[in-house]
Structure 1
Amino acid sequence: MKNWKKNLWILCAGQFLFMASMSQIIPFLPLYLQELGLTDSAEISKWSGLIFGSQFLTALIFSPIWGKIADRYGRKMMLIRSGIGMAIVTILMGFATNHIHLLILRIINGTISGFIPAAIALTATNTPKERTGYAIGILQSSAVAGSICGPLIGGVMADIMGFRAIFMYTGIFVFLATLIVIFFVHEKFERKENEEKTSLVQDFKVIIARKPILSFFFIGTLIQLAMLGTMPLIPLFVQELTDSSQYLAFLAGLTGAVMGFTNMLASPQLGKLGDRHGAQHVLFYSLIAAALITLPQAFVLDLWQLIALRFLLGVTLGGMLPSLHTLVRHYAPKGMESRTYSYATSATFLGNFIGPIAAGQLAAQFGLRSIFISAFILLLLSACWVKYLLNVHFQQQAKEQIH
């Protein structure tokens, strides 16, 4: 097997475990907080949101720092650092004695993370340019699979072995994945000698000077605002569409899982399409399709209609973030790929953090169906932005290459 393909499949396994470990706490977090001593339902809701979101917030802040170090010392080193650190912290979560301990550990976990941008940067820089879209699509599929399976695995394991054991086993699996990275992932990395030391602000200025990278960052945030904003409220919408509370948890899980399943299948194929015809075109048409599929969700009358639309939406999602990451790879300044991906990851984490909060406020004011209308507007705005880039920047670049 070619070296880049071997790296890709190993990183996919690590990405799966990373995303699963970040999301596996979702189904039982309120119950675990009860075990840690919280009894008031309002307090449990408040601390559940704070503990879950804190990891994304600190990951958003620290991602550029780890990206800078990765560009200087290698992406593989960052994968190892992140993997070992997260394994230790995840195991320690099983020994938390109160909700403050759990919050602190989740904050630390976000601080030491950096696996995703390092994995994307290593894959993008060690893969033949004509196969980058395909490789990043595969990597995206593994991340989505982890985020889907994490809550399912966490829920099943909680019933079988209790909450604390989940953290222990997850930490062990993350550590095993890190060992596989240590021994089997090979990176082509040439460290620059006497590289000028720059600040994060200087790095950011250099990166966004490469147009249209800053636009990609904003588009990434808008996509996550639209897609992540609706997800936490889907169970409530499913409840609204069903007459009986029987099998409610299963139906809510099914509605969320179908989107992830089709995303997993579509990402590699759309990545190949982007390699042949341009990732910018795949991104534009995926955004248009996503907007047109999202709007009808505000007007569904039966659950099967919502499930069918979420199924189709998953296909379009497979053409958004992978295409965006491929474009970031193309325009990233040479030698600053990890830093560029780190800022791109921070932009998506910003959407992850703000999206559910904003959607919750919107639903409280205007009802659950309003979140789909707002998501439609965000996706349409993103599509218009990409269309502008197609008409201005990409067209201009094509003319320059001809001349």
Structure 2
Amino acid sequence: MVSWKRNLWILVVSQFLVISAMTMIIPFLPLYIQELGVTNPNTLSIWAGVIFGANFLTAFLFSPFWGRMADKYGRKMMILRSGFGMALIISLTGFAAGPVTLLLLRLLNGVVSGFIPASIGLISTNTPKERVGYALGLLQSGSVSGAICGPLIGGLLAQSFGFRMVFFITGMCILLATIVVLIFVKEQFTPVQSKEKTSTLQEFKMITSRKPVLSLYVVIFLIQFAVMGVNPLLSLFVEELTSPATVAFYAGVVISVMGFANMLTAPQLGKLSDKKGAQHVLIYSMLGVALFSIPQAFVTDIWQLIILRFIIGLCLGGLLPAVNTLIRMHAPSGMESRTYGFSNSAMYLGTMIGPILGGLIVSSIGIRGLFFACAVVLLVNVMIVKIKVLPTANKVFDQEKLRQKKENVV
């Protein structure tokens, strides 16, 4: 098998294992906090929110630093650093003595995290440019399928073996995936030597001076902001549409169908990005998510919501892979991982802020109003892509296609 294809399939499977492992803890995290001695319902909800978000806070802060290290030492090295680090820290989480210990371990886990961003960086830089869209789409399928299976597996394991054992199993899964990468993934990496020492701020200015990188960071932030603004609050809407006895089941179905649809279309839309341009796939996919978000505000039956979430999932498959493809196209040579590092920070920021503002919107205008708000955010995002990204991306895409034609003739 060609080297880039072998790397791709190994990392698809590894990402499935890592994401499955990391999402195993989601269904019972509040229950685990309760087991650690937090019994007051009001205090429990605060601790659960803080502990869940802690991981994203430190990941947001440290992502640019790890991007710099990846450009210096290689993306595979960053995958191994993150994998072994998370395997150790998540295993230690099973020994947490109280909520403060758990919080500190979640903060530390965010510091060493980066398995997924480093994998994206490795695939995007070691895959032929004409196949990057397909590769990143397939890579996302591995992540999404892991996110679908993880909570289900975690719930079953917690019920069978207890909460603490799940953390040990999670650590073993991440360790296994990391060892597979260590042995089988081969990276073609040549570090770019820089005589001048630059600060993170200087690197950010250097990277964003290349159009339309800064606009792409705004786009990825708004995508995560809109998507994550809705997802954690969907169970409240499901509660309106079903009986109390079936809320948990249908809440799981609503989230799972969107992930399943995302998994189906991500590779196909990635292929389309390689043929027609990631900028066009991004625009139409985002337009689809925005337009199909609006009818959700009017649903009167749970099956209507499930169908709409499935359609939205089909469109979501074209968002993040397309943005990552465009970032790869416009990243300065030798600074690809740093460029992804800043984009990951933008993504983590959207993941943190989205649920917070989503909750405020729901408290003000209700869950149905939230769908309109997210649709507006995504429509604004479409305009940003059309005005700020499309002209430059079209030019670069046409130049790349012309280069490929010349190489084929030769």
TM-score, length of structure 1 as denominator length: 0.97
Q: Hey, what does 2:306 align to over in structure 1?
A: 307
Query: For each residue in 1:244-267, what CA deviation from the matched residue of structure 2 results, as whole angstroms up to 9, or x when unmatched?
Result: 212221111001000000000100
Q: Hey, what does 1:14 align to over in structure 2?
A: 14
Contact in 1 for aligned 2:270/2:318 (Cα 8 Å): yes
Q: Hey, what does 1:364 align to over in structure 2?
A: 363
Query: For each residue in 1:99-123, what CA deviation from the matched residue of structure 2 results, as whole angstroms up to 9, or x when unmatched?
Result: 1000000000000111122111100
Q: Hey, what does 2:385 align to over in structure 1?
A: 386
Aligned residues: 401
State how 1:12-161 maps to structure 2 within 5 Å.
Answer: 12-161=12-161
- SS of match in other structure, 1:246: helix
Q: Hey, what does 2:406 align to over in structure 1?
A: none
Which amino acid letter does the alignment assign opposite residue 45 of structure 1?
S
Where structure 2 has 5 or more consecutive residues not aligned to the other structure, the ranges are 403-410
- 2-side partners of 1:306 and 1:397: how far apart? 40
Q: Hey, what does 2:324 align to over in structure 1?
A: 325
Contact in 1 for aligned 2:91/2:168 (Cα 8 Å): yes
Q: Hey, what does 2:3 align to over in structure 1?
A: 3
Query: For each residue in 1:77-106, what CA deviation from the matched residue of structure 2 results, as whole angstroms up to 9, or x when unmatched?
Result: 111010000000000000001010000000
1:68/1:136 Cα in 2 relative to 1: closer, same or farther (>3 Å)?
same
- SS of match in other structure, 2:244: coil
- 1-side partners of 2:390 and 2:9: how far apart? 36
- 2-side partners of 1:146 and 1:274: how far apart? 24
What is the CA-CA distance between 1:399 and the residue it aligns to?
8.5
Structure 2 residue 345 is matched with structure 1 residue 346: yes
- 1-side partners of 2:29 and 2:355: how far apart? 17
- 2-side partners of 1:202 and 1:297: how far apart? 44
What is the CA-CA distance between 1:322 and the residue it aligns to?
0.4
- 2-side partners of 1:396 and 1:119: how far apart? 28
- 2-side partners of 1:400 and 1:217: how far apart? 23
- 2-side partners of 1:205 and 1:362: how far apart? 34
What is the CA-CA distance between 1:390 and the residue it aligns to?
5.6
Contact in 2 for aligned 1:238/1:252 (Cα 8 Å): yes
Contact in 2 for aligned 1:363/1:370 (Cα 8 Å): yes
What is the CA-CA distance between 1:389 and the residue it aligns to?
3.2
Where structure 1 has 5 or more consecutive residues not aligned to the other structure, the ranges are none
What is the CA-CA distance between 1:155 and the residue it aligns to?
1.1
Contact in 1 for aligned 2:215/2:389 (Cα 8 Å): no
Q: Hey, what does 1:249 align to over in structure 2?
A: 248
- 2-side partners of 1:253 and 1:98: how far apart? 29
TM-score, length of structure 2 as denominator length: 0.95
Which range is displaced more, 5-14 or 201-210?
5-14
- 2-side partners of 1:395 and 1:256: how far apart? 35
What is the CA-CA distance between 1:400 and the residue it aligns to?
8.0
Contact in 2 for aligned 1:229/1:359 (Cα 8 Å): yes
Q: Hey, what does 1:293 align to over in structure 2?
A: 292
Which range is displaced more, 392-401 or 321-330?
392-401
- 1-side partners of 2:262 and 2:394: how far apart? 29
Which amino acid letter does the alignment assign opposite residue 73 of structure 2?
Y
Contact in 2 for aligned 1:233/1:360 (Cα 8 Å): yes
- 2-side partners of 1:56 and 1:25: how far apart? 15
What is the CA-CA distance between 1:20 and the residue it aligns to?
2.6
What is the CA-CA distance between 1:19 and the residue it aligns to?
2.3
- 1-side partners of 2:196 and 2:90: how far apart? 36
Which range is displaced more, 151-160 or 261-270?
151-160
What is the CA-CA distance between 1:397 and the residue it aligns to?
5.2
1:40/1:70 Cα in 2 relative to 1: closer, same or farther (>3 Å)?
same
- 2-side partners of 1:245 and 1:26: how far apart? 21
Structure 2 residue 235 is matched with structure 1 residue 266: no
Contact in 2 for aligned 1:67/1:114 (Cα 8 Å): no
Q: Hey, what does 2:228 align to over in structure 1?
A: 228
Q: Hey, what does 1:182 align to over in structure 2?
A: 182
1:348/1:391 Cα in 2 relative to 1: closer, same or farther (>3 Å)?
closer
Query: For each residue in 1:265-317, what CA deviation from the matched residue of structure 2 results, as whole angstroms up to 9, or x when unmatched?
Result: 10000000000000000000111111110011011111111000000000110
Which amino acid letter does the alignment assign opposite residue 67 of structure 1?
G
Which amino acid letter does the alignment assign opposite residue 179 of structure 1?
I
What is the CA-CA distance between 1:398 and the residue it aligns to?
7.1
Query: For each residue in 1:20-71, what CA deviation from the matched residue of structure 2 results, as whole angstroms up to 9, or x when unmatched?
Result: 3332222101111111011100011000000001101110110110010010
Structure 2 residue 202 is matched with structure 1 residue 202: yes
- SS of match in other structure, 2:245: coil
Contact in 2 for aligned 1:79/1:119 (Cα 8 Å): yes
- 2-side partners of 1:397 and 1:235: how far apart? 43
- 1-side partners of 2:345 and 2:303: how far apart? 35
- SS of match in other structure, 1:38: coil
Contact in 1 for aligned 2:277/2:397 (Cα 8 Å): no
- 2-side partners of 1:192 and 1:213: how far apart? 20
- 2-side partners of 1:352 and 1:37: how far apart? 28
- 2-side partners of 1:128 and 1:84: how far apart? 29
What is the CA-CA distance between 1:199 and the residue it aligns to?
1.2
- 2-side partners of 1:164 and 1:90: how far apart? 10
- 1-side partners of 2:381 and 2:23: how far apart? 27
- SS of match in other structure, 2:358: helix
Cα RMSD, aligned residues only = 1.5
What is the CA-CA distance between 1:395 and the residue it aligns to?
5.1
Query: For each residue in 1:304-356, what CA deviation from the matched residue of structure 2 results, as whole angstroms up to 9, or x when unmatched?
Result: 11000000000110011100000000000000111111111111111110111
